[in-house]
């Protein structure tokens, strides 16, 4: 820090030479990292959320090696067995190992949530940026977004899935459509603020193209709120996916997904409570991980929102 | 005032228009011929053609939308191909249980959220406030249908206090009616309460920062009087908005919960229609709920503008 201060002193000898500048940049970056790390570890939700998320990621990525069993392997003799040392979570109505199915189901939920969060963030970013920047597009795009936003999420997703037919790909498409408006709205409002800044006016003055202004100068200022919202959509998409699969309008049956497992659990809720408890808990853990992580991200990336929130 | 109402009404029209177009276009998402899909594999080309004619699929797209929305605005949502009755009748038959469930859940949410939110706001950082933070995380994390399956396990399967599933209309007696509704309503209501409590708290805190609250304190208003007479009265707007807006969420949430508890409401109608590929019912239910959702929000906004002059002057 001292070296930077010294070079900025008015009586210091002029512009620093290139090697000094590089060293200063390096130091600045190191200090930024240190500050980031300190803020990260100061936020309880960020730490717990990331730890849980890491757990979910490890379980999802290592699913085949973790259990060593086939989630589809039938074993009718051992059907509806309670948890035991042989199968820790018990078995389902076809004798399939529930732990294996919960692990694969978690993986499926994480996959769908991730795909939806990425896809809706990208599409929402484009729509939000152009709506915020181009006046006449704003009217058209945002009316469509408002219309989509007016539906309760589960309802719109069910209706679209009914038409498209149940499959993982269709589910991702439908959930993306459902969640694009919330991203687009947030990006648009950040873009509207950024557009009015003096530096954008300066860009116009030096003759930068519209696309250059949008992507190089407005887009970066919309990223923080976008990433935070994206992490909440991850969680939300997992819940809606589970609800749809539970209702039979999501991922088709033999594929293990947390919603499908819960839907099986419902049929045997009287005598085989483990078929409900374990998939239910897994779903709660995944969503909790994402929500805590999102809270933590907001603390880190968007400290202003947090301070404003605290003041309230 | 009239200007405000007119502006608010005008702003609603494009939303309703876009919404209806989306619902209309849903059947065009069907891969292939909707009529053939609805009739299944065994249908002869003649039957398919007849259904296409009946559904108006042979007309130009704009004409189709025009007739569809024209009829819908007069309350005619078409006929269910499978139930041999009009969608309107089917909706009317299934509306009662869903409304009962949503209203009861809303009452539970308000009863939990108001005291908790008020307490948390007036004693910031203390036990109630921390409880609220935990509770609201619980609310966004635990989906209503998972919570309801856990409550069924606890109260119906283990403790055997309440029936596992089913529905009895209010004409069978209020107590029987409530006995069947209480578990699903609690599951829906508790999740909603978590969201609502957070809004109550933050909107109370906004008002607590106002200088007239300091004035009231200075002139010696007691804590009860302060909270109920001075703060809460001015904090109602966001609270009411969330309560109004939550009806749509509750009805959609009810769709999932109803299938767990076997309640013959709109959610079950929707889910059954999805399985039967009965598209006119699907469109009808979705259009009805979404319209109701937008209109309830509109009414809440307008009511508030009538009560609070600050809104309509803004």
Residue A238: per-residue pLDDT: 92
Asked if residue B202 and residue B104 are part of one domain, the reply reads: yes
Q: Is the pLDDT of residue B291 over 70?
A: yes
Residue B36: per-residue pLDDT: 77
**CA proximity to B168, closest of B285, B253, B262, B260:** B262
Q: What is the mean pLDDT of residues B20-32?
A: 84
* Contacts with A211 (C-beta within 8 Å, 6 or more apart), sequence order: none
Asked if residue B257 and residue B162 are part of one domain, the reply reads: yes
Q: Is the pLDDT of residue B42 over 70?
A: yes
Q: How much of chain B exceeds pLDDT 70, in percent?
A: 99
* Interatomic CA distance for residues A265 and A242, integer angstroms: 13
The answer to whether position B91 is within a domain reads no
Q: Is the pLDDT of residue B114 over 70?
A: yes
* Interatomic CA distance for residues A187 and A190, integer angstroms: 5
Mutation for testing the B interface, residue in A147, A265, A295 having most B CBs under 10 Å = A147
The answer to whether position B199 is within a domain reads yes
Q: Is the pLDDT of residue B167 over 90?
A: no
Contact at CB, A147 and B19, closer than 8 angstroms: yes
The answer to whether position B88 is within a domain reads no
Mutation for testing the A interface, residue in B24, B140, B142, B143 having most A CBs under 10 Å = B143
Let me know: does A74 contact A83? Beta carbons within 8 Å: no
| Domain span holding position B277 | 96-307
CA distance A182 to chain B (A): 15
> B153 vs A126, which has greater pLDDT?
A126
Asked if residue B276 and residue B221 are part of one domain, the reply reads: yes
Let me know: does B268 contact B278? Beta carbons within 8 Å: no
The answer to whether position B252 is within a domain reads yes
Beta pairing, strands B79-80 & B85-86: antiparallel
Handedness of CA A113, B275, B295, B19 (dihedral sign): positive
Let me know: does A237 contact A111? Beta carbons within 8 Å: no
Asked if residue B102 and residue B46 are part of one domain, the reply reads: no
Mutation for testing the A interface, residue in B10, B24, B29 having most A CBs under 10 Å = B29
Contact at CB, A159 and B23, closer than 8 angstroms: yes
* Interatomic CA distance for residues A80 and A90, integer angstroms: 7
Q: How many CB pairs under 8 A join A and B?
A: 145
Contact at CB, A277 and B259, closer than 8 angstroms: no
Q: What is the dihedral of CA B115, B118, B123, B126, to 10 degrees?
A: 50
DSSP conformation class of A166 = S
Mutation for testing the B interface, residue in A46, A153, A158 having most B CBs under 10 Å = A158
Let me know: does A257 contact A108? Beta carbons within 8 Å: yes
Measured between CA atoms, the residue of chain B closest to residue A163 is B30
Q: Where are the alpha helices (DSSP H) in B26-86?
A: 34-39, 45-55, 61-73
Q: Is the pLDDT of residue B314 over 70?
A: no
CA distance B274 to chain A (A): 5
Contact at CB, A147 and B255, closer than 8 angstroms: no
Tokens of B135: 């509770």
Confidence label for B239 from pLDDT (cuts 50, 70 and 90): confident
Asked if residue B109 and residue B68 are part of one domain, the reply reads: no
Asked if residue B134 and residue B9 are part of one domain, the reply reads: no
The answer to whether position B253 is within a domain reads yes
pLDDT tens per residue across span B179-222: 778 888 888 899 889 888 888 888 888 888 888 888 888 888 77
Nearest CB to B271; choose among A153, A247, A277: A247
Mutation for testing the A interface, residue in B12, B141, B258, B282 having most A CBs under 10 Å = B141
Asked if residue B281 and residue B240 are part of one domain, the reply reads: yes
Asked if residue B164 and residue B226 are part of one domain, the reply reads: yes
Residue A121: per-residue pLDDT: 95
> B307 vs B264, which has greater pLDDT?
B264
pLDDT tens per residue across span B71-81: 888 877 777 77
Contact at CB, B274 and A269, closer than 8 angstroms: no
The answer to whether position B286 is within a domain reads yes
Among B73, B106, B127, give the residue marking a domain's end.
Answer: B73
Q: What is the mean pLDDT of residues B120-135?
A: 82
The answer to whether position B81 is within a domain reads no
Among B73, B105, B127, give the residue marking a domain's end.
Answer: B73
Contact at CB, B17 and A159, closer than 8 angstroms: no
CA distance B256 to chain A (A): 7
For the full predicted model, state whether its pTM sits above 0.80.
Answer: yes
Residue A15: per-residue pLDDT: 67
A279: exposed, middle or buried (C-beta count within 10 Å: 0-12, 13-18, 19+)? buried
Lowest mean pLDDT among A289-293, B136-140, B303-307: B303-307
Residues of B in contact with A147 (CB under 8 A): 14-15, 17-19, 21-22
Asked if residue B212 and residue B271 are part of one domain, the reply reads: yes
The series of mean pLDDT values per 10 residues for chain A, 312 residues long, is: 48 66 88 83 82 86 76 73 74 76 88 94 94 88 86 86 87 93 91 88 89 89 88 91 87 85 83 84 90 84 52 31
**CA proximity to B269, closest of B91, B100, B34:** B91
Asked if residue B299 and residue B153 are part of one domain, the reply reads: yes
* Interatomic CA distance for residues A256 and A260, integer angstroms: 6
Counting Cα atoms < 13 Å in the Cβ hemisphere of B18 gives: 18
Contact at CB, A266 and B256, closer than 8 angstroms: no
Measured between CA atoms, the residue of chain A closest to residue B37 is A163
Q: How much of chain B exceeds pLDDT 90, in percent?
A: 2
The answer to whether position B87 is within a domain reads no
* Interatomic CA distance for residues A92 and A60, integer angstroms: 21
Contact at CB, B145 and A246, closer than 8 angstroms: yes
Contact at CB, B26 and A146, closer than 8 angstroms: no
Count of structural domains, chain B: 2
Residue A233: per-residue pLDDT: 92
Residue B313: per-residue pLDDT: 64
Counting Cα atoms < 13 Å in the Cβ hemisphere of A102 gives: 25
Residues of A in contact with B31 (CB under 8 A): 164-165
Asked if residue B277 and residue B128 are part of one domain, the reply reads: yes
Residue A307: per-residue pLDDT: 42
Predicted-complex ipTM score = 0.83
Asked if residue B110 and residue B66 are part of one domain, the reply reads: no
Contact at CB, B27 and A243, closer than 8 angstroms: no
Cα radius of gyration (chain B) = 24
Q: How far is CA A291 from CA A156, A294, B29, B86, in A?
A: 23, 5, 32, 43
Residue B312: per-residue pLDDT: 67
Among B40, B73, B106, give the residue marking a domain's end.
Answer: B73
Helices (H) and strands (E) in chain A, counts: 14, 0
Measured between CA atoms, the residue of chain B closest to residue A159 is B282
Residue A67: per-residue pLDDT: 73
Residue B186: give its domain's CATH number: 1.10.3720.10
Residue B107: per-residue pLDDT: 92
CA distance B210 to chain A (A): 11
């Amino acid at each position: 820090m001292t070296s930077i201060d010294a070079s900025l002193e008015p009586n210091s000898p002029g512009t620093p030479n290139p090697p000094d500048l590089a060293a200063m940049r390096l130091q600045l970056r190191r200090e930024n990292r240190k500050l980031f790390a300190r803020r990260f570890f100061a936020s309880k939700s960020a730490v717990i959320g990331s730890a849980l998320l890491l757990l979910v990621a490890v379980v999802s990525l290592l699913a085949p090696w973790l259990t060593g069993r086939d989630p589809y392997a039938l074993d009718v003799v051992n059907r509806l067995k309670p948890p035991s040392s042989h199968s820790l979570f018990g078995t389902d109505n076809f004798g399939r190992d529930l732990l294996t199915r919960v692990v694969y189901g978690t993986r499926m939920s994480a996959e769908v949530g991730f795909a939806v969060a990425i896809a809706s963030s990208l599409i929402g970013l484009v729509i939000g940026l152009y709506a915020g920047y181009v006046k006449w597009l704003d009217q058209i795009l945002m009316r469509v977004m408002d219309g989509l936003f007016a539906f309760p999420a589960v309802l719109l997703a069910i209706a679209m899935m009914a038409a498209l037919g149940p499959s993982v790909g269709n589910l991702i498409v439908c959930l993306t459509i459902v969640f694009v408006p919330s991203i687009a709205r947030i990006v648009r409002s950040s873009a509207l603020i950024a557009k009015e800044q003096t530096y954008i006016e300066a860009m116009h003055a030096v003759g930068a193209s519209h696309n250059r202004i949008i992507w190089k100068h407005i887009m970066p200022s919309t990223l923080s709120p976008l990433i935070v919202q994206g992490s909440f959509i991850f969680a939300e998409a997992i819940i809606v996916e589970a609800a749809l699969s539970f209702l039979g309008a999501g991922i088709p049956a033999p594929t293990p997904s947390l919603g499908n497992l819960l839907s099986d659990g419902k049929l045997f809720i009287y005598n085989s409570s483990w078929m409900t408890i374990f998939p239910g808990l897994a779903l709660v853990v995944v969503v909790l991980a994402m929500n805590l992580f999102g809270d933590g991200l907001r603390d880190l990336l968007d400290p202003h929102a947090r301070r404003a929130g605290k003041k309230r | 005032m009239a200007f405000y109402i007119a502006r608010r009404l005008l702003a609603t029209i494009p939303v309703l228009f876009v919404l209806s177009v989306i619902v209309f276009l849903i059947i065009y998402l069907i891969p292939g011929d909707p009529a053939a899909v609805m009739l299944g594999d065994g249908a002869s080309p003649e039957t398919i053609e007849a259904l296409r004619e009946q559904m108006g699929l042979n007309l130009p797209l704009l004409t189709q939308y025009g007739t569809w929305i024209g009829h819908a605005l007069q309350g005619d949502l078409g006929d269910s191909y499978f139930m041999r009755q009009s969608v309107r009748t089917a909706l009317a038959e299934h509306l009662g249980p869903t409304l009962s469930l949503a209203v009861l859940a809303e009452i539970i949410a308000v009863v939990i959220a108001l005291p908790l939110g008020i307490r948390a706001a007036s004693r910031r950082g203390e036990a109630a406030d921390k409880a609220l933070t935990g509770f609201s995380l619980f609310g966004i994390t635990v989906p209503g249908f998972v919570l309801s399956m856990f409550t069924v396990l606890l109260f119906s399967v283990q403790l055997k206090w309440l029936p596992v599933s089913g529905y009895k209309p209010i004409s069978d007696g209020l107590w029987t009616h409530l006995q069947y509704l209480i578990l699903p309503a609690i599951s829906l209501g508790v999740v909603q309460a978590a969201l609502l409590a957070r809004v109550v708290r933050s909107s109370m805190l906004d008002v607590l920062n106002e200088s007239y609250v300091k004035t009231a304190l200075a002139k010696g208003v007691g804590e009860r009087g302060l909270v109920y007479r001075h703060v809460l009265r001015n904090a109602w707007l966001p609270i009411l908005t969330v309560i109004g807006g939550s009806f749509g969420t509750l009805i959609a949430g009810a769709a999932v919960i109803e299938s767990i508890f076997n309640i013959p409401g709109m959610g079950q109608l929707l889910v059954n229609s999805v399985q039967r590929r009965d598209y006119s019912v699907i469109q009808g239910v979705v259009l009805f709920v979404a319209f109701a959702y937008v209109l309830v929000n509109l009414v809440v906004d307008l009511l508030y503008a009538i009560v609070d002059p600050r809104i309509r002057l803004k």
